A and B are shown apart, each in its own frame.
Chain A
């Protein structure tokens, strides 16, 4: 994070003012936290009884297998979405117009529909048509349907971000369309996509928590079950949130590192992709470059 120089290097008076403002702000923040803590304490929310379950190995294992299920769904969905997304992107860039339209319509449709609706459809709708799968696959199916479109957009943007001269030069050397794609375009585009792909993994990981509505045993569902069992809903959910924050924060930092390294090394920005909240941020940041 580089703060812009919105304020001058400070003189003695300004420094004093900032110092006073800092103290005031610090006191206010501390007071707000204090009030919250007091309120929680007044309702016995810090009672050891409510937090104790998290120290028991069995309970911890319950949460950790929940996390494992979350990660499993996220990784399987990511793997499949990468493949489907690649095909969709190739489809959208194809020279054959009907293929282009079909891929375009597919992407626009699944990108506009809320993931939760897709999950309801796959989890509660598909079984009515005789498609009988474990819950895991209903969730993964919905996640892939949505995320493949996000990845397709990332791939497309990555490919389009390359200078036209690259493909023109390749054609001039007599390479065919597919040779150009796979030996010239894709290897270069992939580098630019990596940070955006990692960011989309964060979104995907958060999205797996929606699997809870179709009773997939992931982290959030485990948290609710434990909360109901021990009567410590608040504590269990805070515990769950902490897991997500640690994992996602780590991934975001990795994405950020990759992006910075990219800029330094190739002096090329990463790509703009709209459509997902996290990616909107990525897009806005790359615009700065």
Chain B
């Protein structure tokens, strides 16, 4: 369970950073970066998570890239989640009224300033709840790390089941553990959203 939590938190932080950068690429004025951003999002999010895991863990060894399973899991989960974060943040940016950006430009701010100081802070406030859904999806997605034998909750449940041959108590216990993670998360997100939401 601790592995599940640390996988989730590490990946989510990394995904937020990567996702925001990719979103910035996609709304920025520089065409090659826009293309890179779009290609990244479409390629990454249309491939199943399990394929990412196996490609990274078993496929890339041939080119000499191999990290231990936990590190691989963090990399893969951050990458996968970041593509969704990028889309979410981008739609948040689009939701900020264009007057905001216009006013910022009228004050002579440059593109990075407009985005960083004025638009992004508002964009994040509007997408708190979709980002929250991503976080709880990530809790569940971290289970897929079990395909490369990271000892997280689902993998532990699978092994316990093999050892004890009593599926119902084992899997119910694991399910309860997941619920005990995602339920408080939902409440927390609701709370944050009420605090920061912008009324339009």
Contacts and interface: CB of A to CB of B under 8 A. Distances in A.
A60 interface: no
Contact of A224 (B54, B126, B132): B54
Contact of A115 (B60, B132, B140, B171): B140
Contacts of B170: 125
A210 interface: yes
B46 A280 contact: no
Contact of B46 (A202, A223, A275): A202
Given A116-B144, A281-B130, A220 B54 contact: yes
A264 interface: no
A168 interface: no
Q: How would you classify the secondary structure of chain A's contact residues: helix, strand, loop or mixed?
A: helix
B95 A287 contact: yes
**Chain B interface residue count: which class?**
35 or more
Interface in A181-214: 202, 205-210, 212-213
Interface in A212-239: 212-213, 220, 223-224, 227, 233-234, 237-238
A117 B171 contact: yes
Nearest to A285: B91
A288 B45 CA distance: 21
A245 interface: yes
A233 B174 CA distance: 33
A128 B165 contact: yes
A8 B102 CA distance: 8
Nearest to A276: B137
A29 interface: yes
Given A244-B47, A252-B46, A124 B161 contact: yes
A182 B140 CA distance: 35
Nearest to B64: A43
A233 B59 contact: yes
Interface in A238-289: 238, 240-241, 244-245, 248-249, 252, 274-281, 283-285, 287-288
B103 to A, nearest CB: 12
Given A234-B63, A284-B130, A4 B93 contact: yes
Contacts of B192: none
A234 B179 contact: no
Nearest to A25: B32
B21 interface: no
A209 B141 contact: no
Contacts of A241: 47, 51, 55
Interface of A: 1-8, 10, 18, 21-22, 25-26, 29, 39-40, 43, 45, 108-109, 112-117, 120-121, 124-126, 128-129, 202, 205-210, 212-213, 220, 223-224, 227, 233-234, 237-238, 240-241, 244-245, 248-249, 252, 274-281, 283-285, 287-288
6 contacts: A3-B27, A21-B30, A112-B178, A125-B168, A237-B59, A284-B95
Interface of B: 26-34, 36, 38, 42-43, 45-51, 54-55, 58-64, 81, 84, 87-88, 91-96, 98, 101-102, 105, 111, 114-115, 119, 126-127, 129-134, 136-137, 139-144, 146-147, 153-154, 157-158, 161-162, 165, 167-168, 170-171, 174-175, 178-179, 182-183
